[in-house]
Structure 1
Amino acid sequence: MDAFALKQSITNELINAIDVGVVVLDSDFCVEVWNQFMENHASIKPADIVGQSLFSHFPEIDEGWLRQKSVPIFNLRSPVFIIWEQRQYLFKFGANRPVTCGAHHMYQNVTMFPIIGDNGEVSRFCIMVYDVTDQALSKLGMSRLNDELKVASRIDGLTGLFNRRYWQERFEQAYKLAKRREKPSTALMLDIDHFKKVNDTYGHQAGDSVIQSLAHLIKRCVRETDLAGRYGGEEFAVILTDSAVDNAVTVAERLRRLAEHSQVEHEGQIIKFNISVGLAEFSPLCDSPMEWLERADQALYQAKQTGRNKYCVWQEQ
């Protein structure tokens, strides 16, 4: 074996031994080199693809995109990098991971670089394919976990509505928006009448079931653009955006009637409950978000003092 043949043999062995995909394409995107990694994952032998167009074997590759992507290789002799965050894969290979990994395909980082001939021209280029599935899944898993933690930090675990802390943050934003806009918004404060009696008679788990039932009714009555949250215990707060108090009382009365006709079953017992509601339309005279909410709370107190199972609207004294 002469020196050139020996060198070529060693090169081929190295190309096939590395755990990276190696593909060499000519300027027409016909395959010249197809290493063992590519054979294993594509189930295509070199003899079946060398000399043929890459696109005829991989129709999922956008030909126009890849040709445009390779322009700097030929014109500028510059390498091109494609990371999985931009495009999850170039070649659609199986994940080659345990069933429990959750990936349906191999995530890939790809490097494409020019091969300069003896004449100084670039007539072919090399594609190197790196399997980064583990890294991608780890990053995606962390991202999903962060999203779940973010949701958990905002949502009340019992009712599925916003918790008080996050509701308060959003409420302050709603207050600032109401001050800038001319459209009205109305705050509602509501709670369950004689809730202590429910807990004392049926137990705290039954009380939780009643709270959940009311939260479900609130979800039915408000829009996605409204802001509803559990303010504390059996008390709830709602901001009806772009709703004057004349329209908001319709929502309040509907909530009151739904609650009045609801039945909560707990351990074979039927529990009925009523609610009281206080409403206050936003006024530019409110110097703070809490002053606006305090008006709704004062209206709620009036509803409690004048018989319960009703709504009251805050009136300027």
Structure 2
Amino acid sequence: MQLDWLLQPLLSQLNTGVLILDSQHNVVFLNQFITRRADLQLAEVEGKLVYTVFSGLPEAWLRRKLDGVLALQAPAFSSWEQRQYIIKLPHLRPVSSDSEYMAQNCSMLPLTAPDGVSQYVCLLIEDATDAYVYQHQLQQSMSMLELANRTDGLTGVYNRSYWQSQLEYETQRAARYQHPVSLLLFDLDKFKQLNDRYGHQGGDAVLIELSAMITELLRDTDLLGRYGGEEFGIILPETNLACAQLVANRICAAVAAQKILFNGQSIAVTISIGVASYTNQTADELIQQADMALYNAKRLGRNQVAVWTAD
């Protein structure tokens, strides 16, 4: 049974791109899947070098692939995960995808003409945009979940669990490489009175504003976390005790100078800070030392910095 009559209608209706190149990488054929999306006609591009027909092709990579298929007479494959697309073809999901072009799986098949001499490569281009969009959305969801698992829901700084795990890591790193690391523990002075006067919403507004302000005062490598209630901790990697004390004094002064607006009212707040530095103790011991220094800052009148000493 002769099936030649099936070839053209099949290729025109196929929901896969078909591009056939000769051994010099000139275009021999492309089907309607490609012509419609690339706004081309076969008569316009037949015999032309594929790299001049389609702009933005990864020429060096594609040449190696095509020459390998021809030399080995073996198929090759490129998935959208390896290379999102080879030919810039618009997709039909402009709203759900962040990419202008169709994600593609591409198979490259060796072909030999009936004369047994002429060789070609057939590129089958499959639209994989659905898989790309799903994977991208999944990664976004996983990133959001990971962020939620390590941040405090109210203030947006690190939560206690994640922050404490980072303190463990930094103390271990300090022990291994003999690098300094310091810890600040601070809380708001007379926070209960503030809550009683302005309500819990006012207290929350202060915590949020305070967290944002202090974050701006820190380096990217510093780690601010909410230890509990109105108490916060700051891990200062590569920072000795003297430098940590300077940082603490700067933060303490900045907070005292800041007025926080809530429901048209200006709220003045202060904080007390305890400072401790790593000297081969455990992370829990370092927290205890900073906490004792914080207690001393409170005892001495609040709105100040106290440094832990062994005496």
Residue of 286, 291, 294 corresponding to 2:285? 291
* 1:94-133 aligned within 5 A: 94-97=90-93, 99-118=95-114, 120-121=116-117, 123-133=119-129
- The equivalent residue for 1:301 is 295
Secondary structure of the residue that 1:70 maps to in structure 2?
helix
Take 1:36 and 1:74, find their aligned partners in 2: how far apart are those partners?
25
**Counterpart contact for 2:58–2:86, Cα < 8 Å:** no
CA distance in 1, matches of 2:238, 2:59: 50
Matched residues, number: 311
Scaled by the length of structure 2, the TM-score of the pair is: 0.95
Aligned counterpart for 2:23 among listed residues 20, 27, 30: 27
Which of 204, 210, 213 is the aligned partner of 1:214?
210
Structure 1 position 103, deviation (Å): 3.8
Q: Deviations over 1:28-78 (max 9, x none)?
A: 111112112111111111221222222221121132221111122111111
Give, in whole Å, the separation in 2 of the partners of 1:98 and 1:259: 47
In the alignment, which of 267, 275, 285 is matched to residue 279 of structure 1?
275
Matched with 2:308 is: 314
Amino acid at match of 2:48: Q
Of 210-219 and 238-247, deviating more is: 210-219
Cα deviation digits, residues 210-255 of structure 1 (max 9, x gap): 1122212321222111221111111010111111111111111111
Deviates more, 1:193-202 or 1:28-37: 28-37
- Indicate which of 136, 148, 172 corresponds to 2:132: 136
Return the alpha-carbon distance in structure 2 between the equivalents of residues 34 and 13 of structure 1. 13
SS in 1 for 2:221: coil
Alpha-carbon distance between aligned partners in 1 of 2:169 and 2:117, rounded to the nearest angstrom? 61
1:235 aligns with 2:234: no
Matched, 1:164 2:160: yes
* Greater mean alpha carbon deviation, residues 197-206 or residues 147-156: 147-156
What is the root-mean-square deviation in Å for CA atoms of aligned residues? 1.6
- TM-score by structure 1 length? 0.93
Any conservation in 1 of the 2:157–2:226 contact (CA below 8 Å)?
yes
Equivalent residue number for residue 64 of structure 2: 68
Task: State yes or no: 1:84 paired with 2:80.
Answer: yes
Structure 2: stretches of 5+ with no match in the other structure: none
Paired amino acid for 2:9: E
1:74·1:122 contact (CA, 8 Å) conserved in 2? Answer: no
Alpha-carbon displacement from aligned partner over 1:7-26 (angstroms, at most 9, x marks no partner)? 43322222222111111110
Note if contact 1:103-1:137 (Cα within 8 Å) is conserved in structure 2: no
**How far 1:155 sits from its partner (Å)?**
1.4
The 1-side partners of 2:95 and 2:277 are apart by 56
Partner of 2:145: 149
- 1:169-180 matches, cutoff 5 A: 169-180=165-176
- Which whole-Å CA distance do the structure 1 matches of 2:94 and 2:284 have between them? 54
- 1:52 alignment partner, one of 48, 51, 62: 48
- Using the TM superposition, give the Cα deviation of residue 82 of structure 1 relative to its aligned residue in structure 2, in angstroms: 0.8
1:267 aligns with 2:263: yes
How many Å separate the matches in 1 of 2:48 and 2:5?
A: 23
What is the rounded CA distance, in whole Å, between the counterparts of 1:122 and 1:303 in structure 2? 87
- Match for residue 18 of structure 1? 14
Structure 2 distance, partners of 1:74, 1:57, is 21
Deviation for aligned residue 1:105: 1.3
Tell me, yes or no, if the aligned pair for 1:217 and 1:255 is still in contact at 8 Å. no
Residues 225, 99 of structure 1: CA spacing in aligned structure 2 closer, same or farther, 3 A cutoff? closer
* Aligned AA (1:167): W
Give secondary structure in 1 for the equivalent of 2:301.
Answer: coil
Q: How far apart in 1 are the matches of 2:239 and 2:205?
A: 30
Paired-residue identity, % = 36
What is the match of residue 194 of structure 1? 190
CA distance in 1, matches of 2:216, 2:304: 19
